[in-house]
C-alpha cells in the first residue's frame, strides 16, 4: 500500500499520511507588537475539498481584552498560501471584527484545491499572526489510501496541563484532530480539579454563566501554548458535549444549573453558544445546529453529533426504555441513520460525545459504583443504567442499531469521549447480546479530567483499578478492553482494509513536560464489527 505525500502530483489523494509529513508549524512572530495583537493563536477547521475555515482573535488595543466589550472596530487581513514563506498567496482578503464578536475572526475560504496543504496568517496594523498550517479534504470520489487523526476529549484546565495536545502537534503525521467535546469546563476554581489539587486556576474564578464568563474561559484556554500549537498544525473537527454549557446538560436544564441563582437556562445556553461560535473554528448551521458531516474521498465520512441540545432529561429505571425519550432528537437521529445507510464511503465514522455501548452495572460492587457513577451518572443504588449515556435512551439506540442491521450497513465506527477512561467495545443491544455487534466503538480518555483512580484516591494501575476493569469486562462481554486510570489521547488510522485506534497515556497530567507512551491498540477489519487487539505499537 502506498503512503502518499502532499506533492502536487498527489493532490487528488490523501495527504501527509506518512514519513513525508511536514512538521507542525506554529511559527512565532518576532515582533513584540504581533505577540500582543495575536495573543490567542490561529486555528482552522471543518476541511472541505475546496475550502477551509480559518480563525483568530485580535487585541488591537490594550483595553480590547476578551469579554471587555471595549476596543475599536478593525479590519483584519488574511492570507492563505501554498508555501510557508507566503511567496505564492492564492487567496486573501479582509474581514471586520470588533467588541460585538469579542474581536474574534472567522473566514470561510473557498476556491482551494482538494487534498492540498496550505499555510495561512492574519495581519493587523503591520503585525502578522503566527503562521498556521492546514489541509483541504480530498474530493469525495477520490480513492484515498490512508488518513490519521488525533482524537481527544475532556480538557479540564484546573486538573493539569495540555501536554496531550503537544504530543499530537509534534507527531507531524496527522491529517486532522477530532475533538469530541468538553473543550472547556464551566466550573469555578476548586470545584473540579486534579483529585482535590488545583494545578492552575481558571478565569473567571467563578462558574461561567454569562456571555462575558464564557468568553473569558474560552480566551483562557487559547492562551495554552500546547493547545495553540495543535490548532496551528492541523485542521480540527469538533463538537460540544455538556461542559461547554453546564454538567449533565439536557434540552431543558442541567445538573449544574440553578435557575433561582443563575437565571433562566435558555439565556445561559444562548450565552455559551454565542461564545462557542465566536471562539471555535467550526461551521454552525444558520439555525445554530452543530451536527454535520465531512468526508475525505471515498475512504472516510465523519458524522459529528450533538447529544445535548435535543435530549430528554436523564431518567432512571423503566423510563430509560420509553419510546418518547431521545438523546439525539428525531431530526438528528433520522439524519444520522439515513447518512450511515446511504453513505458511499468505505468507513462510516461517528463523532459520538457519550458512550453508546451498553454498560450493565448491577453486579458491580459499591466501591466501584461510586466513582463510576461520578463519571457517567450511575445512580448510587446501582440501578442497571448509565443514565447520561445512550443507556439512558434505549429507544434511540435500538432504532439506530436496528436500522443498521436492516440495511446491512457495515464498517461503522463510533469515536467517543466523555467518560474519561479508555475503552474498546463492540456495539450490541440487549436483544442480541455479544453475538451480533453492529459497529465498533473506540473511547478515548480525558486529557486531564479525573477518572477512576483519581476518585478512589489510589495510584494509576493499582490493584483496585485492575479489579475494576476485570469486573466491568466480566459483566459486559462486548467490552473487550477498558483502562480506568490513564489520561491522554487517541490516534485513529483509517486505511482501505481496517480502522485502528491507538491509545497513548501521559505519565503525569500535572507536569507540562510529561511524557506519553503507547498503551494499547485495537482495530476492526473491513466487513466486520468484531474488534481485535493489536500486539505492537504502530
CATH code of 366's domain: 3.60.21.70
Contacts of 75 (CB under 8 A, 6+ apart): 94, 95, 96
Single out the residue in 82, 100, 135 at which a domain terminates. Answer: 135
* Confidence band, pLDDT 50/70/90 cuts, at residue 17: very low
Q: 3-class DSSP state for residue 144? A: coil
**Is residue 307 domain-shared with residue 380, that is, in the same domain?**
yes
Instruction: Report pLDDT digits (tens) over 164-174.
Output: 999 999 999 99
pLDDT at 431: 65
The answer as to whether 6 is a domain residue is: no
Give how far the C-alpha of residue 319 lies from the chain's centroid of Cα atoms, to the nearest Å.
Answer: 29
Question: Of 83, 102, 135, which residue constitutes the final position of a domain?
Answer: 135
Look up the CATH number of the domain holding residue 82: 2.60.40.380
Cα 453 to Cα 450: distance, rounded to the nearest angstrom: 8
- Give the least confident one: 9-13, 361-365, 399-403, 423-427: 9-13
The reply to whether 455 and 373 lie within a common domain is: yes
At 365, the pLDDT band (50, 70, 90 cuts) reads: low
- The count of domains in the chain is 2
Q: 204: cis peptide before it, omega within 30°? A: yes
In a domain, 423, yes or no: yes
Residue 393 DSSP symbol: G
Distance, first Cα to last Cα, the chain:
15
* φ, ψ dihedrals at 280, nearest 5°: -115, 145
Q: Lowest-confidence range among 80-84, 363-367, 505-509, 525-529? A: 363-367
User: Residue 30's beta-bridge partner residues?
Assistant: none
Pair (64, 173) in one structural domain = no
Give the model confidence (pLDDT) of 292-342 as tens digits. 999 999 999 999 999 999 999 998 777 788 899 999 999 999 999 999 999
Same structural domain for residues 294 and 345?
Answer: yes
Claim to verify: residue 76 and residue 196 sit in the same structural domain: no
pLDDT at 366: 64
Do the domain assignments include residue 459? yes
**Residue 3 lies inside a defined structural domain of this protein:** no
pLDDT tens digits, residue range 470-526? 888 988 899 999 999 999 999 999 999 999 999 999 999 999 999 999 999 999 999
What span, in angstroms and rounded, lies between the C-alpha atoms of 63 and 294? Answer: 39
Whether residue 161 is found in the same domain as residue 188: yes
What's the domain range around 86?
Answer: 24-135
Beta strands in 129-173 (DSSP E): 132-135, 146-152
Residue 13 covered by a domain:
no
Selected residue with higher pLDDT from 454 and 365:
454
Question: Do 122 and 156 reside in the same domain of the chain?
Answer: no
Residues 190 and 129 in one domain: no
Domain assignment of residue 2, yes or no:
no
Give the distance, in angstroms, between the CA of residue 345 and the centroid of all CA atoms in the same chain. 22
Is 63 within the bounds of a domain?
A: yes
The pLDDT-based confidence of 9 (bands split at 50, 70, 90) is very low
Query: What pLDDT does residue 459 have?
Result: 78
123 within domain boundaries = yes
Cβ-proximal residues to 441 (8 Å cutoff; 6+ apart), any chain = 352, 355, 356, 357, 413, 414, 415, 416, 423, 424, 425, 426, 427
- Residues 265, 325: one domain? yes
- Sheet harboring 516-525: ordered strands across? 104-109, 51-57, 42-48, 236-238, 176-179, 146-152, 488-495, 498-506, 516-525, 531-534
Tell whether 123 and 215 lie within a shared domain. Answer: no
Are residues 415 and 478 part of one domain?
Answer: yes
Helix 163-171 vs helix 225-233: crossing angle, to nearest 10: 30
User: Is residue 18 over pLDDT 80?
Assistant: no
Q: Is the pLDDT of residue 228 over 50?
A: yes
Mean pLDDT of the chain: 90
CA dihedral sign, ordered 156, 135, 491, 522:
positive
Same domain, 332 and 239: yes
Using a cut of 0.75, tell me whether the model's pTM lies above it: yes
Tens of pLDDT, residues 394-413: 899 999 999 999 999 999 99
The predicted structure's pLDDT at residue 369: 63
From 135, 169, 196, the end of a domain falls on 135
Amino acid at each position: 500500500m502506498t503512503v502518499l505525500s502532499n506533492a502536487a502530483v498527489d493532490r487528488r489523494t490523501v495527504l501527509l499520511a506518512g514519513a513525508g509529513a511536514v512538521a507542525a508549524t506554529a511559527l512565532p512572530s518576532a515582533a513584540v507588537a504581533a505577540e500582543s495583537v495575536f495573543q490567542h493563536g490561529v486555528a482552522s477547521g471543518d476541511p472541505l475539498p475546496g475550502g477551509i475555515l480559518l480563525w483568530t482573535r485580535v487585541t488591537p488595543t490594550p483595553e480590547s481584552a476578551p469579554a471587555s466589550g471595549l476596543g475599536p472596530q478593525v479590519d483584519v487581513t488574511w492570507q492563505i498560501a501554498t508555501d510557508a514563506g507566503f511567496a505564492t498567496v492564492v487567496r486573501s482578503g479582509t474581514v471586520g471584527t470588533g467588541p460585538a464578536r469579542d474581536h474574534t475572526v472567522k473566514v470561510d475560504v473557498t476556491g482551494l484545491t482538494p487534498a492540498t496543504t496550505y499555510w495561512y496568517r492574519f495581519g493587523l496594523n503591520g503585525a502578522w499572526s503566527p503562521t498556521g498550517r492546514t489541509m483541504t479534504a480530498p474530493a469525495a470520489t477520490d480513492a484515498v489510501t490512508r488518513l490519521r487523526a488525533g482524537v481527544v476529549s475532556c480538557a479540564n484546565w484546573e486538573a493539569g496541563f495540555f501536554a496531550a495536545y503537544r504530543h499530537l502537534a509534534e507527531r507531524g503525521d496527522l491529517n486532522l484532530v477530532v475533538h469530541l467535546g468538553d473543550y472547556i469546563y464551566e466550573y469555578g476554581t476548586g470545584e473540579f480539579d486534579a483529585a482535590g489539587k488545583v494545578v492552575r486556576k481558571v478565569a473567571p474564578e467563578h462558574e461561567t454563566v454569562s456571555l462575558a464568563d464564557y468568553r473569558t474561559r474560552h480566551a483562557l484556554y487559547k492562551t495554552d501554548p500546547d493547545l495553540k500549537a495543535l490548532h496551528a498544525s492541523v485542521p480540527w473537527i469538533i463538537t460540544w458535549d455538556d461542559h461547554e454549557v453546564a454538567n449533565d446538560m439536557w434540552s431543558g436544564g442541567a445538573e449544574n444549573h440553578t435557575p433561582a441563582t443563575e437565571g433562566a437556562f435558555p439565556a445561559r445556553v444562548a450565552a455559551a453558544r454565542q461564545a462557542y461560535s465566536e471562539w471555535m473554528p467550526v461551521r454552525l448551521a444558520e439555525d445554530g445546529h452543530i451536527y454535520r458531516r465531512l468526508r475525505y474521498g471515498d475512504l472516510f465520512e465523519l458524522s459529528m453529533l450533538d447529544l445535548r441540545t435535543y435530549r430528554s432529561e436523564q431518567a432512571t429505571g423503566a423510563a430509560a426504555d420509553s419510546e418518547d425519550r431521545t438523546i439525539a432528537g428525531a431530526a438528528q437521529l433520522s439524519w444520522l441513520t439515513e447518512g450511515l445507510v446511504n453513505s458511499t464511503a468505505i468507513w462510516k465514522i461517528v463523532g459520538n460525545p457519550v458512550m453508546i455501548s451498553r454498560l450493565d452495572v448491577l453486579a458491580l460492587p459499591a466501591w466501584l459504583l461510586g466513582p463510576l457513577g461520578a463519571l457517567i451518572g450511575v445512580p448510587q443504588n446501582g440501578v442497571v443504567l448509565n443514565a447520561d449515556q445512550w443507556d439512558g435512551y434505549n429507544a434511540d439506540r435500538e432504532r439506530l442499531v436496528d436500522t443498521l442491521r436492516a440495511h446491512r450497513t457495515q464498517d461503522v465506527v463510533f469515536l467517543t469521549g466523555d467518560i474519561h477512561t479508555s475503552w474498546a467495545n463492540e456495539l450490541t443491544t440487549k436483544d442480541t447480546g455479544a453475538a451480533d455487534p453492529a459497529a465498533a466503538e473506540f473511547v478515548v480518555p480525558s486529557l486531564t479530567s479525573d477518572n477512576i483512580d483519581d476518585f478512589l484516591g489510589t495510584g494509576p494501575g493499582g490493584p483496585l483499578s485492575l479489579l475494576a476493569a476485570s469486573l466491568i469486562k466480566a459483566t459486559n462481554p462486548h467490552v473487550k478492553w477498558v483502562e480506568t486510570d490513564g489520561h491522554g489521547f487517541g490516534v485513529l488510522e483509517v486505511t482501505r482494509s481496517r480502522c485502528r485506534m491507538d491509545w497513548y497515556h501521559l505519565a503525569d497530567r500535572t507536569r507540562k513536560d510529561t511524557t506519553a507512551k503507547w498503551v494499547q491498540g485495537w482495530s476492526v477489519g473491513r466487513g466486520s464489527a468484531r474488534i481485535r487487539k493489536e500486539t505492537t505499537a504502530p
